[in-house]
Structure 1
Amino acid sequence: MKEFAKGPDGMKDIRLIGLEDGSVGVFTRPQGERGGRGKIGFTRIPSLQDLTVEAIEQAPILEGQFSDEEWGGVNELHRLANGWIGVLGHIACFDGEGNRHYYPMVFVFNPDTLEFSEMEIIATRSDFLAGPAKRSDLVDVVFSGGLIRKPDGTAELYAGTSDAEAQKITMADPFGKFEREKR
């Protein structure tokens, strides 16, 4: 492995995907003044040589995905048969007692029109086996690790649970219904 780029200091969840025309889609996660606790941005660059800190920092935010009390990011990208991008990510918030709540979510993104679907939470902690939590404020945490899409219309979701374990569940492919839609 060899380092080929660096992101902005402190920015997590930068994800890249090759697009049909040979360009590169870049999903970002600005925080602070531009992104609050964490929002999702997107930009398209001609090639990996154009992946710079400036390009990442200037990626427009996908407006309307999170309230000011929520945050999230992209964990994995899937190029769908119709040219859209299936986005596996997470959405999170605090409750009134300071406990964290993280959920795996999906949405689809059209890199040509920059339109995106509503987010859909695809699992909650109760969908997984009971287990220990790293701390009491992390009991309701499911952090998306990856999604393996199967030819039979199912998918395996791999996730971290309660910041203490890794688990997987089998579910209906959350991108299947979108993949059948025309661009």
Structure 2
Amino acid sequence: MQILTPHTEVVLKLLLPTHSKELFHLADTNRTHLREWFAWVDHTSSESDTQQFIQNSLSKLCGMTGFNCGVWYQDRLVGVLEIHDWKHTLYRAELGYWLSKEATGKGIMTSAVQGLTNYLFQELPIHALEIRCAVRNEKSQQVAIRCGFVLEGKIRQGTVTSQGFEDVFLYSLLREDWTRQHDTANQ
């Protein structure tokens, strides 16, 4: 599976076992950068850990509860964008993402989120998407805002980072908001 994005040099591809070496190297070389926000970094110590992550992701896809895409920029893997906590009875899912340090600040994740959001609303019976990000993580908040997500509120101690429990902002995008944004853009 490959998903195109508004930025011609940004492509999303379903993560497969053949990507495990490249993905582990990316996470390993960005440990300091990622550790601030993600507790999993310290539990990923080998390529086999990454292989297991990818296998779990493929199992989630088979069960229709989520999946992970690699984010490629100029034909290089630079991050991950995932759909998780897919609640079919509520037609809702959550997006999560990370980028290598060198890939930040270039609009790559904004384009990736726009591409995946377009795919999900066009191809699947999704009514709402959510993004949760630490209150301190202004870059992640800006991705959500640029992609048309609306701030719903704050969840106290809603995540665990290297700093301990932290509050998170909850952003959402409803299908009707996405449709309105696309209708306006196409006029």
The normalised TM-score by structure 1 is: 0.29
Which structure is higher in RCO with an 8 Å CA cutoff and minimum separation 6?
A: 2
Over alpha carbons, which structure has the higher Rg?
1
Higher strand share: 1
The normalised TM-score by structure 2 is: 0.28
